[in-house]
């Protein structure tokens, strides 16, 4: 089954901006089935606040044919920014919902045969309908705050690429905690996510949207915050 990787790369803002808007060489990387480059943001911060945007932090998400292809990429990347000291998490997807070009080809089941017993990761990718920007901001920010403040969430991040690509990334104690937040059935979970899903069903916010549940396999490098997201081996 294909491997996902989630990278956080700290670099000068102009280099981050350049790779956000142009990265054609990635299309020729052996074994890289799909990739996304996004600007890291602070979860739950006001949309217009300058402190929301981490202009010196690039998020790179890769879908790989195998772990060997990822290792080859890191040993000889096509752009200098990927040679900088960075952090990445390797993951295996076990369930998906929705559709997204480039990710649909991954052999990820819509129904999981088994659920990881420990930590799980939630990853979403979306292409926003620009006509729905204000509506999406109205419903999306309370959800960010709900995720950020949930007691079962270990780490969360949001990211985007101008002008309509968005992603969320969250690490949870277990799947039960993650699903509690999604469904909002208990007081501790909050209800903003459930309300936003109802609103999305009335009129979609996005052209494309996918949610992936993933099992973390290993982490490499130092998370910028700094702390490890996974238990020490």
pLDDT in tens, 76-91: 999 999 998 889 999 9
For the chain, the domain total comes to: 1
Exposed, middle or buried: residue 171 (CB in 10 Å: 0-12, 13-18, 19+)?
A: buried
- pLDDT tens column, 117-153: 899 999 999 999 999 999 999 999 899 999 999 999 9
pTM (predicted TM-score): 0.92
Domain that holds residue 91: 3-220
Query: What was the pLDDT predicted at 232?
Result: 61
Question: For residue 22, what is the domain's CATH number?
Answer: 3.30.70.100
Flag residues of the chain having pLDDT under 50.
none
User: By three-state DSSP, how is residue 108 classified?
Assistant: coil
In a domain, 163, yes or no: yes
Query: What was the pLDDT predicted at 16?
Result: 97
Query: What was the pLDDT predicted at 47?
Result: 86
Residues in the chain: 233
Cα–Cα distance for residue pair 42/155, rounded to 1 Å: 11
In a domain, 70, yes or no: yes
In a domain, 233, yes or no: no
């Amino acid at each position: 089954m294909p491997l996902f990787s989630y990278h956080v790369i700290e670099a000068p803002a102009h280099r981050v901006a350049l790779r956000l808007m142009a990265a054609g060489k990635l299309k020729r990387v052996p074994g890289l089935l799909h990739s996304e480059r996004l600007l890291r943001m602070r979860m739950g911060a006001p949309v217009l606040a300058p402190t929301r945007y981490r202009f010196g932090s690039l998020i790179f998400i890769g879908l790989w044919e195998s772990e060997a292809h990822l290792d080859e990429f890191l040993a000889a990347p096509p752009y200098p920014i990927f040679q900088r000291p960075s952090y990445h998490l390797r993951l295996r997807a076990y369930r998906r919902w929705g559709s997204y070009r480039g990710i649909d080809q991954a052999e990820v089941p819509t129904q999981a045969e088994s659920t990881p017993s420990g930590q799980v990761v939630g990853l979403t990718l979306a292409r926003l309908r620009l006509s729905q920007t204000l509506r999406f901001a109205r419903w999306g920010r309370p959800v960010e705050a709900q995720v950020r403040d949930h007691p079962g969430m270990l780490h969360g991040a949001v990211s985007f690429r101008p002008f309509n690509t968005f992603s969320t990334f969250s690490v949870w104690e277990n799947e039960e905690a993650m699903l509690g937040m999604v469904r909002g059935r208990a007081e501790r979970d909050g209800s903003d996510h459930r309300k936003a899903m109802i609103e999305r069903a009335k009129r979609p916010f996005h052209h494309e949207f996918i949610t992936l549940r993933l099992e973390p396999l290993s982490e490499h490098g130092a998370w910028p915050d700094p702390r490890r997201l996974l238990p020490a081996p």
